[in-house]
C-alpha cells in the first residue's frame, strides 16, 4: 500500500504519518519542513518532498511529474490524506488582508483539490483508493474571527459530497473533522486575542482542563478509520462520533 500525505512535519499529520508507516504503508509526504524523527525510524519507507503548498504552480508541476505517476501507478491500494491546514488569518472580516486570505485558501482548499484530481487520475488501475480530507468542526459551526478558515473547511466538505456524485470506480472518500488536538494550531488559537477571536476563553479552558487529544493518538484513530471497511460510508464525519 502507498499513501500521499500533506502536513506530516508536526501536529496531527505527524501522528497520521506514523500510524500509516506502522501499518507498513509507504508514505510520500509533502510539507515545507521534514520530519527527522520519522525519517530516522522508518528509513526509505518515508519519502519527503519539501514544498510550500501555497505555491500551486509548483504543486501542479509535481503532480505532472514522473515521480507522481510512478508512486501512484499499479493495482495496489492507494491513499491520499489532505491534512495540511492553516488557520491564519484569524481576525474579523475587514482586517484579514488579501495575501493572508490567498495563502490560506491555497493551502486549505486549492492544494487539496489539485491533489485529489491528480490522485484520481494517477490511480486508475488501483483496486482500492481512499481519499481523506481533514476537515474541522469549523466547517459545520461558524466561529467569529475564523471566517476564512470556516469557509475553507466547508469547501472541503462540499467538495467531498460533490465528488461522491461523480461515482468514480473503486474510490472511497470522506471529509472528517478530527476534534480538538494539542498542536501548534491550538497554541496559536490560545495566543490570539478576544478581539480577533471572541471564543478564545473556551479554547484556553479546553487546554487548561486537559481536554485536548494527543496528535499521536488522534492520528492512530484517524488511520484506523481510514483503513476500515466502513470508511466513506458517511461522506462527512466527526471523529468524536465515530
Closer residue to ligand NAP (CB): 65 or 141: 141
CB 219 → ligand NAP: shortest distance, Å? 9
d(CA 81, CA 132): 5
CB of 131 within 8 A of CB of 78?
no
For ligand NAP, the nearest residue by Cβ is: 11
Is residue 219 a contact partner of residue 19, using CB atoms and an 8 Å limit? yes
Catalytic residues: 149
- Our finding on whether 195 is near ligand NAP (CB under 6 A) is no
Closest separation in Å from C-beta 112 to ligand NAP? 9
**Nearer CB in complex with ligand NAP: 61/124:** 61
| Contact stretch for ligand NAP (CB under 6 A) within 20-28, 50-58, 64-72, 94-102 | 50-58
User: Which residue, 85 or 232, has its beta carbon nearer to ligand NAP?
Assistant: 85
Nearest to 55 by CA among 4, 110, 135: 110
Grid-cell match 478530527, residue found: 178
Q: What contacts 24+ positions apart, CB below 8 Å, involve 9-12?
A: 9/33, 9/34, 9/35, 10/35, 10/183, 10/184, 11/181, 11/183, 11/184, 11/185, 11/215, 12/83, 12/134, 12/178, 12/181, 12/183, 12/215, 12/218, 12/219, 12/222
Residues from 81 through 120 that contact ligand NAP (CB under 6 A) = 83-86, 107
> 22, 32, 194, 224: which one contacts ligand NAP (CB under 6 A)?
32
From candidates 72, 134, 150, 173, binder to ligand NAP by CB under 6 A: 134
Using CB under 6 A, list all residues that contact ligand NAP: 7-13, 31-33, 52-54, 83-86, 107, 134, 136, 178, 180-181, 183-186
Amino acid at each position: 500500500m502507498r499513501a500521499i500525505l500533506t502536513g506530516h512535519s508536526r501536529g496531527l499529520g505527524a501522528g497520521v504519518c506514523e500510524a500509516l508507516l506502522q501499518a507498513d504503508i509507504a508514505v510520500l509526504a509533502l510539507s515545507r519542513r521534514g520530519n527527522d524523527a520519522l525519517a530516522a525510524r522508518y528509513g526509505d519507507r518515508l519519502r519527503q518532498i519539501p514544498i510550500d503548498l501555497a505555491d500551486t504552480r509548483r504543486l501542479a508541476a509535481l503532480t505532472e511529474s514522473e515521480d507522481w505517476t510512478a508512486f501512484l501507478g499499479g493495482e495496489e491500494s492507494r491513499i491520499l490524506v489532505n491534512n495540511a491546514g492553516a488557520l491564519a488569518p484569524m481576525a474579523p472580516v475587514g482586517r484579514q488582508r488579501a495575501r493572508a486570505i490567498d495563502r490560506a485558501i491555497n493551502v486549505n482548499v486549492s492544494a487539496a483539490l489539485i491533489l485529489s484530481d491528480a490522485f484520481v487520475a494517477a490511480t486508475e488501475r488501483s483496486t482500492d483508493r481512499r481519499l481523506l480530507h481533514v476537515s474541522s468542526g469549523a466547517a459545520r459551526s461558524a466561529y467569529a474571527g475564523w471566517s476564512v478558515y470556516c469557509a475553507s473547511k466547508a469547501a472541503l466538505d462540499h467538495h467531498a459530497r460533490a465528488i461522491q456524485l461523480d461515482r468514480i470506480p473503486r474510490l472511497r472518500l470522506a471529509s472528517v473533522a478530527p476534534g480538538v488536538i494539542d498542536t501548534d494550531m491550538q497554541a496559536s488559537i490560545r495566543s490570539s486575542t478576544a478581539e480577533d477571536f471572541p471564543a478564545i476563553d473556551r479554547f484556553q479552558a479546553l487546554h487548561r482542563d486537559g481536554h485536548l487529544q494527543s496528535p499521536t493518538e488522534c492520528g492512530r484513530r484517524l488511520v484506523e478509520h481510514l483503513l476500515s471497511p466502513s470508511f466513506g460510508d458517511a461522506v462527512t464525519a466527526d471523529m468524536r462520533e465515530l
